[in-house]
Chain A
Amino acid sequence: MKILVCMKQVPDTSEVTLDPITNTLIRKGVRSIINPDDKAGIEAALSLRDEIQNSEVIVVSMGPPQAEIALMETLAMGCDEAYLISDRKFGGSDTLATSTILAAALKKIGFDLIITGRQAIDGDTAQVGPQIAEHLGIPHVSYVEEFFYSDGGDEGKAMIVMRQFEDRYHKIRVKFPCLLTAISGYKEPRYLTVSGVFDADNKEIKHFGYEELKEHLDESCIGLKGSPTKVVKSYTKEQKSQGTVLKGLTNNEAVEAIMARLKEGHII
């Protein structure tokens, strides 16, 4: 079985800070990491490979050439192959254009199961996974916390997954081919092993650009041109300022002050 995992290299947003003078994001020196939900997806894929005979895990990432570093890391975790999808023509893509390009690449590689992370920590949109599934015309289940493979007897082969909602879970059976989006935190991703790192060195990252994918791509649907949404402006939030400390209040005044803040923050 061919398991494809989509991965994005992201800046570690917990390290992104604001320049106190210019009030802009300091991106310099911020570490790049594998997006945490994607790492959970890789772990889920590797666990499934351990269970299902004749299966392989192939990682696909769209991004600039530097994303090779993150792809090397996935190979060192034990993934079988890695593809970097990169082309100048792809620059400026919004989620819809990105999902269009990724869908073309996945189609070309071929798949039984696609796993993506639920969302990337730099954009937090959670849109690319479901959009890929739509382009490929396959069902998807998002917010998946647990993955089980069922060879299913009469019912046929399927994935049994726990789909999380705010207030409930759905235990869902979904037949192949399908796309699942994974949430981090359920299972610790495996560490790199010495032999993994050694093996990774002998593997090569494959590259797809526009030329390789054009049989599956409409040029008007990719890049800046193919993106329906445009960022017209961005700004940093107002700096967190020195707070207010109130002294000598009666209890009722204190309650009033707290209530005002809770209302302000839409908490009540």
Chain B
Amino acid sequence: MSKDIFVFIEQRDGNIQNVSYELIGEASSLAEDLNQKVIGVLLGSGIEDKAEALIEYGADEVIVVDNKILKEYMTEPYAKALTDIVLDRDPEILLIGATTIGRDLGPRISARLRTGLTADCTSLFIDPETKDLHMTRPAFGGNLMAVIQCRNHRPQMATIRPGVMQPIERDEKRQGIINVVEIDFSAISDSVEILEVIKKEKKSSDITKAKYVVSGGRGVGSKENFDKLKELSDVIGGEVAGSRAAVEAGWLETEKQVGQTGKTVRPDLYIACGISGAIQHVAGMENSGMIIGINKNDTAPIFDVADLGIVGDVNAILPPLITAIKKAKEEGMDYVAPSSNKYMGMENILYNVNNGIAYLTINRPKSLNALNRKTLLEIGAVVDLLEKDETVQVLIVRGAGGRAFVAGADISLMLDMDEAAGEEISTLAQSVFSRLKNLPQVVIGAINGYALGGGNELAMACDIRVASSRAKFGQPEVKLGLIPGFGGTQRLQRLVGQGYSKELIFTGDMISAEEAYRIGLVSKVVAPEALNRVVNDLAMKIMSNGIQAVKMAKKAINEGGCVDLENGMAVENREWTSCFTNDESKEGMSAFVEKRKPRFRDF
């Protein structure tokens, strides 16, 4: 029987590549769903001492083949070693980084084993029923996403795009097996021979091939200021480019010009610094993945194509930005930008407000954002603020770190609790969550990962839940001899009905985002990388409507959910009537009659 998740560990010159740590992180989460192990396969020469680190990053076992023939990557020796190991161990899943090595090795092996291979995946998850792997990948130049399965062949193989998955925290105490094996390479022919290895210099390369582009225009002001753009592009590993104005000013070589008369680029990230965004320039960069525009002039057309526009002085913003990125790179994945607001005193959450949208981020990624007393109190403090804050219309609740929304209550802190302490924490959590639910603002939960126990209960206290495809939901309390205590036995049945609610709570099972969507626990499931954007867009869409009306509708729905139909109707009647006491409804209806867009913001 096939079992375990194998990860091909890519090394170059003996250095393990980041993508391998990312894949071990992803494999750990898949392994949890399958109740199987994560096995790294490390091939190279003089690399035996590198296996330890892989265990610290989450591998249960590392199979090492250390042989001179594996020093530089060559298809046949690598394919032979990996195939022999796969035939010996019969993995359930084999993951390979979608690099120029992985995308050479993967197809060769899949054809040798006659199994399926899905190229360049951006997300993976285990079907909760069939336990098959779902692999999502972009096609048609990224215009289409396809979900692919390989049901009848093992291993299920996928190459995964670097930079998409997240490594888990390194734990130096983690234990695992290092298994050094010998492979017989004697049958490999001499038909392929490496004559020379030429390392690429970091040449001033082609901007059309850059993953990230930092581009400058007239607003940068001088050649000296352009050095800052270069520094920014260096820290993110991109290239510097510019508008025609920058080239004509002599700040940049001609081959770095973007636009109709220059080059067309479509990097994953395009940062336009002091570029106004004339149509000729936009034509050369509008298909970039993410566009960030920084310009002093708030009417600059660059803001029409930017995903994020910052009205401000680029020369003042770049130096602290460069410092922040350097710091983030040093600190690794858990970094959350320091909040510049005055609620910095909070330890476990981050709170900030932007254009009427408030963000409450549970920020204990090392503990998968588990809720403890202090975190609950801090959420309560934010609720206090929001009850009085009329400038905020939507609150977005989310978890830091990418693996969990909130993985539950902090069990280690509950171990020593007696009856009174147990009652106290439940009362506290129930009251904080109820007040969150009854805030005048719309509360949206952006569920990026585990929402278990108290996490699912927090999610259910939100008005709307949007999940990333990697989110997982459950009320596992009975497994610990407890029951849900932060509202789970009550809110879940009101959302999904008693039958399903009982099954979930009695079994303690974890369900996928898709299943949560099917039963109506969440209203949308989106790709992990799209979650923040979709939630933001949803907030903006709600805010573009009559916000007083939205608030009254929320009130009517909330109150009506607690009473019988007749009394619910009375609540609706009351709120409907009060619509006519504000100017918003007059503006909305007049605009409709006059066939124009309403201007709700003025009220």
Per-residue CB contact flags for chain A residues 175-215 toward chain B (1 = under 8 Å, else 0) read 10010000000000000000000000000000000000000
Say yes or no: B340 contacts A175, CB within 8 Å: no
Say yes or no: B103 contacts A126, CB within 8 Å: yes
A13 touches B (CB below 8 Å): yes
When A and B form their complex, which 5 residue pairs have the shortest distance between CB atoms, in order from nearest?
A: A228-B116, A13-B141, A229-B116, A134-B111, A245-B309
B421 touches A (CB below 8 Å): no
Identify A256's interface contact among B110, B118, B340, CB under 8 A: B340
Say yes or no: B309 contacts A244, CB within 8 Å: yes
Q: Which residues of A contact B345 (CB under 8 A)?
A: none
Say yes or no: B308 contacts A258, CB within 8 Å: yes
Q: Which residues of A contact B298 (CB under 8 A)?
A: 245, 247
Say yes or no: A171 contacts B196, CB within 8 Å: yes
Q: Which of A49-57, A74-82, A232-240 contacts B (4 or more CB under 8 A)?
A: A232-240
13 extra interface residue pairs, beta carbon distance < 8 Å, beyond A96-B110, A96-B111: A13-B143, A25-B140, A133-B108, A166-B100, A171-B196, A228-B152, A238-B526, A243-B308, A245-B309, A246-B309, A249-B312, A256-B340, A267-B268
B499 touches A (CB below 8 Å): no
Given known pairs A229-B118, A262-B269, A265-B269, the reply for A169 and B354 (CB within 8 Å) is: no
Identify A232's interface contact among B147, B189, B199, B325, CB under 8 A: B147
Say yes or no: B308 contacts A257, CB within 8 Å: yes
Given known pairs A160-B195, A229-B148, the reply for A248 and B311 (CB within 8 Å) is: yes
Identify B355's interface contact among A237, A246, A266, CB under 8 A: A246
C-alpha gap A171/B195 in the complex (Å): 5
Given known pairs A125-B120, A250-B340, the reply for A168 and B197 (CB within 8 Å) is: yes
Given known pairs A141-B192, A267-B236, the reply for A234 and B108 (CB within 8 Å) is: no
Which A150-169 residues have a C-beta within 8 angstroms of B? 160, 164-169
Give A240 Cβ to nearest chain B Cβ, in Å.
8
B: which residues have CB within 8 A of A? 12, 72-73, 75-76, 99-101, 103-104, 106-108, 110-112, 114-120, 134, 138-153, 163-164, 189, 191-200, 212, 236, 268-269, 289-292, 294, 298, 303, 305-313, 316-317, 320-321, 324-325, 328-329, 335, 337-340, 352, 354-355, 526-527, 529-530, 532-534, 536-537, 540
Q: Which residues of B contact A11 (CB under 8 A)?
A: 140
Say yes or no: A18 contacts B352, CB within 8 Å: no
Say yes or no: A96 contacts B337, CB within 8 Å: no
Chain B residue with Cβ nearest A132: B111
Say yes or no: A96 contacts B192, CB within 8 Å: no
Q: Which of A40-48, A84-92, A107-115, A116-124 contacts B (4 or more CB under 8 A)?
A: A116-124
Give B499 Cβ to nearest chain A Cβ, in Å.
27
Identify A253's interface contact among B107, B147, B340, CB under 8 A: B340
Chain A residue with Cβ nearest B135: A229
Q: Which residues of B contact A173 (CB under 8 A)?
A: 192-193, 195
Give A132 Cβ to nearest chain B Cβ, in Å.
8
Say yes or no: B100 contacts A165, CB within 8 Å: yes
Q: Which residues of B contact A9 (CB under 8 A)?
A: none
Cross-chain pairs A/B with CB under 8 angstroms, 14 sampled: A17-B143, A122-B140, A134-B107, A165-B101, A169-B197, A171-B196, A172-B194, A174-B193, A175-B192, A230-B151, A237-B142, A237-B143, A259-B324, A259-B325
A1 touches B (CB below 8 Å): no
Q: Which residues of B contact A223 (CB under 8 A)?
A: none
Give A237 Cβ to nearest chain B Cβ, in Å.
6
C-alpha gap A240/B163 in the complex (Å): 21
A61 touches B (CB below 8 Å): no
Q: Which residues of A contact B100 (CB under 8 A)?
A: 142-143, 164-166
Give B240 Cβ to nearest chain A Cβ, in Å.
16
Identify B110's interface contact among A131, A139, A235, A237, CB under 8 A: A131
C-alpha gap A141/B146 in the complex (Å): 28
Give A114 Cβ to nearest chain B Cβ, in Å.
14
Q: Which residues of A contact B306 (CB under 8 A)?
A: 243, 245
Given known pairs A173-B195, A243-B308, A246-B310, the reply for A229 and B150 (CB within 8 Å) is: yes
Decide if the interface of chain B is mainly helix, strand, loop or mixed: mixed
Q: Which residues of B contact A231 (CB under 8 A)?
A: 146-148
Say yes or no: B308 contacts A18, CB within 8 Å: no
Say yes or no: B117 contacts A229, CB within 8 Å: yes
Q: Which residues of B contact A69 (CB under 8 A)?
A: none
C-alpha gap A94/B526 in the complex (Å): 26
Say yes or no: A170 contacts B140, CB within 8 Å: no
Say yes or no: A232 contacts B149, CB within 8 Å: yes
A2 touches B (CB below 8 Å): no
Chain B residue with Cβ nearest A136: B111
C-alpha gap A129/B138 in the complex (Å): 20
Given known pairs A96-B114, A168-B197, A265-B269, the reply for A259 and B337 (CB within 8 Å) is: yes
Chain B residue with Cβ nearest A267: B269
Identify A96's interface contact among B116, B212, B529, CB under 8 A: B116
Give A221 Cβ to nearest chain B Cβ, in Å.
8
Q: Which residues of A contact B76 (CB under 8 A)?
A: 139
Given known pairs A134-B108, A246-B355, the reply for A237 and B530 (CB within 8 Å) is: yes
Q: Which residues of B contact A99 (CB under 8 A)?
A: 107, 111
Say yes or no: B307 contacts A261, CB within 8 Å: yes
C-alpha gap A248/B310 in the complex (Å): 9
C-alpha gap A140/B303 in the complex (Å): 48
C-alpha gap A243/B270 in the complex (Å): 14
Say yes or no: A125 contacts B119, CB within 8 Å: yes
Among B111, B143, B150, B339, residue most surrounded by chain A Cβ atoms (within 10 Å): B111
Chain B residue with Cβ nearest A10: B140
Give B405 Cβ to nearest chain A Cβ, in Å.
16
Q: Which residues of A contact B107 (CB under 8 A)?
A: 95, 99, 125-131, 134
Q: Which residues of B contact A142 (CB under 8 A)?
A: 75, 100, 103-104
Q: Which residues of A contact B194 (CB under 8 A)?
A: 170-172
Identify B310's interface contact among A95, A254, A262, CB under 8 A: A254
Chain A residue with Cβ nearest B531: A264
Say yes or no: A169 contacts B193, CB within 8 Å: no
Q: Which residues of A contact B119 (CB under 8 A)?
A: 95, 123-127
C-alpha gap A238/B143 in the complex (Å): 10
Q: Which residues of A contact B313 (CB under 8 A)?
A: 251
Give B163 Cβ to nearest chain A Cβ, in Å.
5
Q: Which residues of A contact B196 (CB under 8 A)?
A: 170-171
Q: Which residues of A contact B320 (CB under 8 A)?
A: 251-252, 255
